[in-house]
Amino acid sequence: MNAPTGHSDGTVGKALDVLEAVAAAGRPVRFSELLATERWPKATLYRLLQTLTNQGMLVQDAREGTYRLGLRLVQLAHRAWSSATIAPVAGPFVDRLAATLGRTVHLACLDHGQVLYLDKRSARTPLPMYSDAGKVGPAYCTGVGKAMLAFLPEAALRSALRAQAFDTHTPATITSAEALLDELAQIRDAGLAFDREEHEPGIICIAAPIRAATGEPLGALSVTSSTLRDRLEDLAALGPDLMTATTDISAALHPWAHPDP
């Protein structure tokens, strides 16, 4: 069934479930709050919280006894980010693109059918907007998401499609797998994807995939703007710059694939 919270394998799984529960709260949580979810018996929950706490995955607030995510996660994530993703290589190119275009640029990758944002450079005037490194978002209604889905191999695409919620965020949101497949075909032809206010009203973007030598998408880059500042045609005009950046990143990722003078 591939349930979101897969059947916990062993003690470690249970502990990570607790960690996730604390994360999901998004704020300091009291013992009794977690207990009230009826997911774990009292003593068990207590022990797991203890373990996670003295491992630094959680921090217990001395004052009120509440639990928060620990900073050890931030350290681990930094290493994950810099050794397991295209982010460190892409960084300078993201910089350059954002500076050249004067607009917000996002770098993202696909994780379990969802978009995971890896990096971002804000425009001078940062728009308040849903995004940030480490944040996850939907794939079916974002530029970066569609750009990556479009170039996914058959099998991966099918499993990714099953993970899409197809919720309606705006009137423009694509809400069926069929419609999305049409869109993806066009993106495949153009090599570029657009977000036509499909996720947030007033927010549009143009995106392009970053592909491995094998063709599989490793990530995507997008240039975001608002309808107040740009029309879709304006963004389309930035396509060449965007694609220069993505191909440069690909080249930096696969130096061997590009004969050097």
Q: Does 13 bind its own copies (CB under 8 A)?
A: yes
Q: How many CB atoms lie within 10 A of CB 123?
A: 17
Query: DSSP 3-state assignment of 180?
Result: helix
Closest CA to 49 of 134, 9, 6, 39: 39
Residue 213 interacts, among DNA, its own copies, none and using kind-specific CB cut-offs from 5 to 8 Å, with: none
Residue 222, both tokens: 């997008």
User: Per CB under 8 A, which of residues 70..109 are in contact with its own copies?
Assistant: 70-85, 95, 109
Query: Least distance to DNA from the beta carbon of 62, Å?
Result: 11
- How far from chain centre, in Å, is Cα 212? 18
220's CB contacts (< 8 A; 6+ apart) are 107, 108, 109, 143, 144, 145, 147, 148, 193, 207, 208, 209, 210, 246
Local structure of residue 229 (DSSP, 8 states): T
Return the residue of 32, 54, 125, 176 that touches its own copies, per CB under 8 A.
54
**From CA 99, how far away is CA 239, in angstroms rounded?**
15
Q: Which does 30 bind (CB under 5 to 8 A by kind): its own copies, DNA, none?
A: DNA
Distance of closest approach, residue 3 Cβ to DNA, in angstroms: 17
Does the protein bind its own copies through residue 68 (CB under 8 A)?
yes
Question: Which one of 46, 59, 156, 169 is in contact with DNA (CB under 7 A)?
Answer: 46
Q: Closest distance between its own copies and the C-beta of residue 122, in Å?
A: 8
Determine which helix (DSSP H) or strand (DSSP E) holds 219, and give its type and residue range: strand 217-226
How big is the site for its own copies, counted in residues (CB under 8 A)?
A: 53
179 binds, among its own copies, DNA, none (CB under 5 to 8 A by kind): none
Q: How many residues bind DNA (CB under 7 A)?
A: 18
Residue 68 found at the interface with DNA (CB under 7 A): no
As a whole number of angstroms, the distance between CA 77 and CA 187 comes to: 32
Distance CA 142, CA 98 (A): 19
Q: Does 3 bind its own copies (CB under 8 A)?
A: no
Q: Of 22, 28, 58, 27, whose CA–CA distance to 40 is shortest?
A: 22
Q: Site for DNA (CB under 7 A): which residue of 40, 93, 117, 151?
A: 40
Q: Which residue in this structure is represented by tokens 């005037």?
A: 125
Edge to edge, the sheet with strand 203-211 lists 136-137, 114-121, 104-111, 217-226, 203-211, 193-196
State the minimum distance, in angstroms, from the CB of residue 22 to DNA: 13
Residue 51 interacting with its own copies (CB under 8 A): yes
Contact between 136 and its own copies (CB under 8 A)? yes
Distance CA 174, CA 245 (A): 28
Q: Which does 7 bind (CB under 5 to 8 A by kind): its own copies, DNA, none?
A: none
> What does the binding site for its own copies look like in residue numbers (CB under 8 A)?
6, 9-13, 15-16, 19-20, 23, 26-28, 48, 51-52, 54-57, 59, 68-85, 95, 109, 111-112, 116, 118, 122, 126, 132-136
Would you tell me which residues interact with DNA (CB under 7 A)?
9-12, 14, 30-32, 35, 40-44, 46-48, 65
